Chain A
Amino acid sequence: DAKTTQPNSMESNEEEPVHLPCNHSTISGTDYIHWYRQLPSQGPEYVIHGLTSNVNNRMASLAIAEDRKSSTLILHRATLRDAAVYYCIKDAGGTSYGKLTFGQGTILTVHP
């Protein structure tokens, strides 16, 4: 099962931190966790991905639970441009091509 569980929607205020949760209880040892986001009428955009350790990049941080059954995407200071659908994806596993299965994602609304 390649599915993850995310809340349907979340809201935040501009310049506040946002924590987007994701459950992936069926994850195996070689499955990466990927986060993509999709702004209105655009293609998905890569945000971050990780395996076990917490990861940081210029866009966000990814905190992965010790048992790897859940993770949290952290946007440190939300801007209006961060309003998008955020997809948490567990890849199909193995060492072959990463078949990313997109669920319905979390719709993030950012209030000015």
Chain B
Amino acid sequence: NAGVTQTPKFQVLKTGQSMTLQCAQDMNHEYMSWYRQDPGMGLRLIHYSVGAGITDQGEVPNGYNVSRSTTEDFPLRLLSAAPSQTSVYFCASSRTSGKYNEQFFGPGTRLTVL
């Protein structure tokens, strides 16, 4: 199993540009989520999904959209990039709720917004 994969590894955007961060998992996990990590800080939950077609907001959802059309994929869309969105983005998945099961994290996407 490849586990949780994320693309791209690095990305530089200009203010106002849009882009999609890709996340895929091959473990048939129902739960997937997106976190961001700012320098020297812990991770903050952006959006999460408890199954295909079901998404909900986390702690810091503004400026981001998600959709879950398949079990495997959970893309994160930045609608109009801002310098405050400069961060490292991690995607995670778990078999069922992360409350009871370990979450598997991807390697991250490092995003810089100029």
Residues in chain A within 8 A of chain B (CB atoms): 32, 36, 42-46, 49, 87, 91, 95-105
Contacts and interface: CB of A to CB of B under 8 A. Distances in A.
Given A43-B106, A44-B105, A97 B98 contact: yes
B74 interface: no
A102 B42 contact: yes
A2 to B, nearest CB: 9
Contact of A98 (B4, B42, B97, B105): B97
B97 A97 contact: yes
Given A98-B100, A100-B98, 12 more contacts: A32-B99, A42-B108, A43-B92, A43-B106, A44-B103, A87-B42, A96-B97, A97-B98, A100-B45, A102-B43, A104-B40, A104-B42
Interface string B80-103: 000000000010101001111011
Interface of B: 4, 31, 35, 40-45, 48, 50, 56, 58-59, 90, 92, 94, 97-100, 102-108
A9 to B, nearest CB: 13
Contacts of A105: 42
A105 B41 CA distance: 9
Question: Nearest 10 pairs between A and B by C-beta?
Answer: A98-B99, A102-B42, A43-B105, A98-B98, A46-B102, A102-B43, A44-B105, A98-B97, A43-B90, A91-B99
A45 B40 CA distance: 17
B90 A97 contact: no
B42 A32 contact: no
A97 B43 contact: no
B42 A97 contact: no
A87 B42 CA distance: 8
Contacts of A96: 97, 99
